[in-house]
Structure 1
Amino acid sequence: MLFSFAPLWLLSLLATLTQQPTAQAPVVAPTLEWNARRPLTWADFKARPNTDRLEALTSSTIDAKVGCVDYQFSAQVTAVFRPSESWVRHPAQASAALLRHEQVHFDLTELHARLLRQKLSLVKLDCEKLQPAFSNLTKMAFLTWQREEARYDQESNHGLNAARQQAWEQQVQQRLVQLEAFALK
C-alpha cells in the first residue's frame, strides 16, 4: 500500500487557500473515486511492479480541497485510487482473494475520508486562520489512516492469513455503514 497526500494535495490546498491561479497546473494522471457500486478490477492496476516483496500494490490517497467563500469554510474530501501507480505482478494468475485484499486497502481510504469529512463537519474553522488549523487536523487524520493501513497488512499478512483477512473485510464494511452519513452522494 502506498500512502501519499503531500504533493498534489498540498498544491490544491495552497491554490485554494490563496485563491490565486498557479502558473502551470500540474499534470494529473487519471484516478478513480471510491464508489461502493464500482469495486476495483485487475484491469485498474496499470503500473509495473517495482519490488519483489509484494504481489500487488494499491496506490490510493485522500484528496482534500478546502476554501473559503465569503468567510464560509468549505471542504471536499475524496478517496481516490491511482491506476498509474497501482500494480499486480501476474494479472492472469492473480487471485480473487488478492484483489479483495487490495480492495480493502481502497475501502480503508474511503473509511478515513469519511472520518475526515465527519471531523470537518464538527469543527468551526476560522477562514482567516485556516491553514494551521486545517493542516493540524489533516495531519492527524492521515497519520491515523496510514497506521491502520500498516496494521491491516501486518495482521492479515498481506491477505495470506484468510481468517484475519475476512475479519478485516467485515470490520471495514461495518464501519463504512456506520459512517454512511459521511459518504459522498
Structure 2
Amino acid sequence: MLFSFSLPFFLSLFSAAQQGPAAAPARVQPSAKIEWRPDRPLTWEDFRSRPATDQLAALTSSSIDAKVGCVDYVFSAQVRAVFVPTESWVRDPKRATPQLLRHEQVHFDLTEVHARLLRQKLSLVKLDCEKLQPAFNNITKMAFLTWQREEARYDQETNHGLNLPRQQAWEQQTQQRLQQLEAFALK
C-alpha cells in the first residue's frame, strides 16, 4: 500500500521598483522539480514560467511531496520540499534584484522547514497501516494549513520582501529553524 500526497503552495512578491542584475544562472531541466538542498540556492534561471499577472514581480511555486506506505504492516514515509520551475516566474529577470531572489528563497526555505516538521510528526506518531489513509490525510491537512498560514504571515510582515529589517529577521529566523530541525533533514 503506497499513498502519495503533494501540498502545493504558490508564493509571490508584489511589484516594486526593482533594479539590479539577476543572479548567476544554473542549469536545470525545464520540467524537473528542484529538491531543497542547503547547498543549492535558487537562481533566476530556475523561474521558467511566464507571468500570469502584472501585479507581481515574481512567483515561487513550491510543494511538500509526501509518500507513505506499509510493507508487512511497517509504516514508512518520504517527505520532500520541492520547487516547481515550470510554475514559478519572475516578471523581468534583467531588473530583478538579489533582495527579491532572497525573499523567494526564504519561501522555499520555509517549505523545507515545514517538510522537516512533517517528517518529525510522522516519526513520532504511530500510524495504523489498516487505517493509514484517513490518519495520514489528517496529519498532512494540518501540516498544510500551518505552512500556508506561516507563508502568508511572512509576506504580510515583510511586505513581500520590501520591509528590509523584517525580511532580514525572517531570513535569520528561518535559518535558525532549519538548524533546530537538522535531525529531520534528508541525508
2:172 is paired with a residue whose SS is helix
Pairwise CA distance, 1:102? 0.1
1:165 counterpart (153, 164, 167): 167
1:134 counterpart (119, 133, 136): 136
Q: Which runs of 4+ in 1 moved over 4 A?
A: none
The CA distance in 2 between the partners of 1:121 and 1:67, in whole Å, is: 13
Name structure 2 gaps, 5 residues minimum: 1-5, 9-30
Pairwise CA distance, 1:112? 0.1
CA RMSD of aligned residues (A): 1.3
Structure 1 residue 147 and structure 2 residue 149: aligned? yes
State the aligned residue count. 161
* Amino acid of the structure 2 residue aligned with 1:122: L
Pairwise CA distance, 1:69? 0.5
Superposition pairs for residues 17-28 of structure 1, below 5 Å? none
* Amino acid of the structure 2 residue aligned with 1:37: D
* Amino acid of the structure 2 residue aligned with 1:129: K
The residue number in structure 2 matching 1:94 is 96
C-alpha offsets along residues 148-180 of structure 1, whole Å, 9 cap, x if unaligned?
000000100000000000000000000000000
Superposition pairs for residues 8-157 of structure 1, below 5 Å? 29-157=31-159
The residue number in structure 1 matching 2:15 is none
The CA distance in 2 between the partners of 1:43 and 1:171, in whole Å, is: 26
The residue number in structure 2 matching 1:18 is none
What is the TM-score normalised by the length of structure 2?
0.84
Pairwise CA distance, 1:5? 2.3
2:56 is paired with a residue whose SS is coil
2:82 is paired with a residue whose SS is strand
What is the TM-score normalised by the length of structure 1?
0.85
Task: Identify, as 1 or 2, the structure richer in strand.
Answer: 2
The CA distance in 2 between the partners of 1:30 and 1:5, in whole Å, is: 17
1:59 is paired with a residue whose SS is strand
1:140 is paired with a residue whose SS is helix
Task: Identify, as 1 or 2, the structure richer in helix.
Answer: 1
C-alpha offsets along residues 52-85 of structure 1, whole Å, 9 cap, x if unaligned?
2210010000000011001000000000000000
